[in-house]
């Protein structure tokens, strides 16, 4: 149970919701397999495969969104539509027009969709009611937004908000790169993406490359700004910060994983140990990251 990407949201502290109340509300949007002509289905599933929609350990919660997607490539529909159009033309001597071709494609889709293969995947969500975090393990904002949409449909009240800090990640990363001084507790690694804000969006990527070079300094002086920067927090967690306030490519280093102590005796104990350690590390990491970005932006009075 180790998250790889973090889509960050805040929730109010203290939060009065209990795990039991949370689970009761999630049941209104349980996962149901795709039926009939549905291309996609989303809903909440037990994160451990039992009957518990909210997994809890040491005050930390874990929930999971299950997704089924029907796989019906457009190329398959188009190929069948062309074959049927050719048959119609051979029998009737008239080539189907645009409207009729659209009708054919709709008919074929309705025929094939119930028999199409399905793809399933699970998105995990960590809820930290103690420190006010809701974190989605998703590589893209679109996947994160899909989770939040289903969550909004399930809850009577929606207390979550996207994280917004006083300093933008882009300006902060520009300063850290320009001065070669990372904020306290962090170190700059060797991966970076620099992009021009001008219309052509000229982009320079560095991978496993020293970033304390005159070349990088010149790109910054020319107006390019970091859209991604690889960092490490306290030799425990390496990651990439983006200018959109995403945390990607999270890796828990050996020194962090070694904090588990003795190996648990069974799979359930291992899962709990991993989850509690991950939640504890990420809570401290996110607090330091917020400090590095000037803290959470205060709402105007």
**DSSP H or E stretch at residue 35:** none
The pLDDT tens digits of the residues spanning 247-260 come to: 999 999 976 666 66
Task: Supply the pLDDT for residue 262.
Answer: 64
Report d(CA 175, CA 178) in Å as an integer: 5
Q: Region 136-153: what's the mean pLDDT? A: 95
Which residues, including other chains, have CB under 8 Å from residue 144's CB and lie 6 or more apart?
7, 136, 138
Which residue, among 195, 177, 202, 196, has the nearest Cα to 187 in the 3D structure?
177
* Closest listed residue to residue 14, CA positions, set 126, 125, 163, 131: 131
What is the DSSP secondary structure assignment for residue 258, as one 8-state letter? Answer: G
Q: Are 296 and 166 in contact (CB under 8 A)?
A: yes
Counting residues of the chain whose pLDDT is more than 90, the rounded percentage is 69
Please name the residue that has the structure tokens 């904020």: 183
Q: How would DSSP label each residue in 119-157?
A: EEEEEEEEEETTTTEEEE--SSHHHHHHHHHHHHHH-SS
CA angle 53, 54, 59 (to 5 degrees): 170
Residues of the chain with pLDDT > 70: what percent? Answer: 96
Return the SS3 of 60. Answer: strand
63 touches 151 (CB < 8 A)? no
**Mean pLDDT, the chain, integer:** 91
What's this model's pTM, rounded to 2 decimal places? 0.87
Secondary structure of 64-114 as H, E, C letters: EEEEEEEECCHHHHHHHHHHHHHHHHHHHCCCCCHHHHHHHHHHHHHHHHH
What is the per-residue pLDDT for 255? 65
> Residue 72 above 90 pLDDT?
no
Cα distance between residue 58 and residue 14, in whole Å: 16
Q: Is the pLDDT of residue 10 over 70?
A: yes
| Element at 134 (helix H, strand E) | strand 133-136
- What the block records as the tokens of 220 is 């910054």
Give the model's pLDDT for residue 300: 60
Quote the pLDDT of residue 123: 97
pLDDT higher than threshold 90 for residue 28:
yes
pLDDT at 299 over 80: no
The answer to whether 230 and 239 are in contact (CB under 8 A) is: yes
Residue 301 has pLDDT above 60, yes or no: no
- CA-CA distance, 235 to 246, in Å (whole number)? 20
For residue 41, name the pLDDT band (cuts at 50, 70, 90): very high
Peptide bond into 90 cis (omega under 30): no
Residue 264, pLDDT score: 64
pLDDT band for position 111 (cuts 50, 70, 90): confident
Q: How far apart are CA 175 and CA 202, in angstroms?
A: 20
Q: How many CB atoms lie within 10 A of CB 84?
A: 17
Please report which confidence band the pLDDT of residue 35 belongs to, taking 50, 70 and 90 as the band edges. confident
Q: What is the pLDDT of residue 245?
A: 95
pLDDT band of 272, cuts 50, 70, 90: very high
- Take residue 144 and report the two structure tokens written for it: 């994160």
Q: Give the range among 110-114, 147-151, 211-215 with minimum mean pLDDT.
A: 110-114
């Amino acid at each position: 149970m180790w998250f790889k990407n973090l889509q960050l949201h805040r929730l109010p502290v203290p939060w009065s919701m209990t795990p039991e109340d949370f689970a009761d509300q999630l049941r209104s949007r349980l996962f149901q397999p795709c039926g009939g002509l549905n291309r996609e289905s989303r809903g909440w599933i037990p994160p451990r495969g039992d009957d518990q929609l909210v997994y809890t350990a040491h005050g930390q919660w874990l929930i999971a969104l299950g997704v089924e997607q029907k796989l019906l490539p457009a190329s398959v529909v188009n190929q069948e539509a062309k074959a049927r159009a050719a048959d119609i033309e051979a029998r009737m001597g008239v080539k189907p027009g645009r409207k009729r071709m659209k009708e054919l494609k709709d008919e074929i889709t309705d025929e094939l969709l119930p028999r199409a293969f399905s793809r399933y995947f699970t998105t995990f969500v960590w809820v930290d009611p103690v420190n006010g975090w809701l974190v989605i393990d998703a590589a893209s904002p679109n996947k994160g937004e899909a989770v939040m949409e289903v969550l909004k449909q399930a809850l009577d009240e929606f207390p979550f908000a996207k994280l917004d800090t006083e300093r933008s990640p882009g300006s902060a990363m520009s300063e850290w790169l320009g001065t070669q001084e990372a904020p306290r507790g962090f170190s700059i690694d060797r991966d970076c993406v620099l992009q021009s804000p001008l219309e052509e969006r000229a982009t320079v990527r560095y991978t496993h490359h020293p970033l304390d070079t005159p070349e990088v300094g010149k790109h910054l002086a020319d107006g390019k700004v970091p859209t991604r920067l690889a960092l490490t927090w306290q030799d425990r967690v390496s990651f990439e910060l983006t200018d959109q306030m995403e945390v990607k490519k999270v890796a828990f280093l050996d020194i962090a994983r070694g904090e588990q102590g003795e190996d648990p005796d069974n799979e359930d104990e291992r899962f709990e140990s991993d989850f509690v350690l991950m939640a504890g590390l990420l809570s401290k990491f996110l607090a330091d990251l917020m400090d590095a970005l000037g803290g959470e932006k205060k709402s105007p009075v």
